[in-house]
Amino acid sequence: MKMLKNKYLKNFCVSKIYLLSFTTLVLTLSFALTTVSANDMSVSAGYGFAFLNPERKIYRLRDTKGLYDFYHVSLAKEHPIYNQISIVAEPFIVYQARPDDGLDFGFTISGKYYMTKNFYVHVGVGIAYTTYGFKEQGTHLPFILQGGIGYRWKRFFIEDRFKHYSNGGISRPNTSINSNIILIGVCI
């Protein structure tokens, strides 16, 4: 009976992931396909590395051997909703350089608040698919929590972003993967 219960619980959790993934994808695509005006689309590229993990060493994860770093590229659409507040839809691709080659594909939805004309903060959630099997995660579909600060000057911006990967407790192990990303970008 316990095995049957665990099977149904696991299937329920997996179906919740698929539903969340599909809903987020549909919202992101519908948001991105709305009318584009000047300066609401941007392209960014950056470098990221392991940061603030339980190992307490920069570039290191707890269970995965070797250093962890990657290159991040994204296309974002920003939609103002009220004064200094915007919603940002951002599909991304990541090339993982170490400990082994790998790719991450995903998308995030964030809220962005402009503290001044140029400085901003943002907080967001998302989901990704990673081709690399992290020992810290029991799945290839981690959820994302992220936050960052940035500075925008005319069409250009620089941003420092903290990204947290977690499988949301749907499988074991569930040791988080935290990273810091430095991004530069241009609004198109």
What distance in Å separates the CA atoms of residue 37 and residue 188, rounded to the nearest whole number? 9
- Is 167 a residue whose pLDDT tops 80? yes
What number is the average pLDDT over the span 149-170? 92
Angstrom distance (rounded) from CA 94 to CA 96: 6
In the chain the first and final C-alpha atoms are separated, in Å, by 57
pLDDT given for residue 116 in this prediction: 95
Tell me, what's the pLDDT at 88?
Answer: 95
3-state DSSP assignment of residue 100 = coil
* pLDDT score, position 176: 77
Q: Where are the alpha helices (DSSP H) in 47-118?
A: none
At 37 the pLDDT is: 46
What is the Cα–Cα distance from 18 to 22, expressed in whole angstroms? 6
The rounded distance, in Å, linking the Cα atoms of 144 and 162 is 10
The residue type of 27 is L
Model confidence, pTM: 0.76
**Cβ(126)–Cβ(91) below 8 Å:** no
pLDDT the model gives residue 144? 93
Q: Report the C-alpha gap between 170 and 8 in whole angstroms.
A: 12
Which tens digit of pLDDT belongs to each residue from 100-149? 888 999 999 999 999 999 999 999 999 999 888 777 777 788 899 999 99
32-87 pLDDT, tens per residue? 555 444 458 999 999 999 887 766 666 666 666 668 889 999 999 999 999 999 99
May I ask the CATH architecture of the domain 2-187? Answer: Beta Barrel (2.40)
**Burial of 22: CB neighbours in 10 Å, binned 0-12, 13-18, 19+:** exposed
Q: How do the domains of the chain map onto residue ranges? A: 2-187
Is 160 or 25 the better-scoring residue by pLDDT? Answer: 160
Residue 166 has pLDDT above 60, yes or no: yes
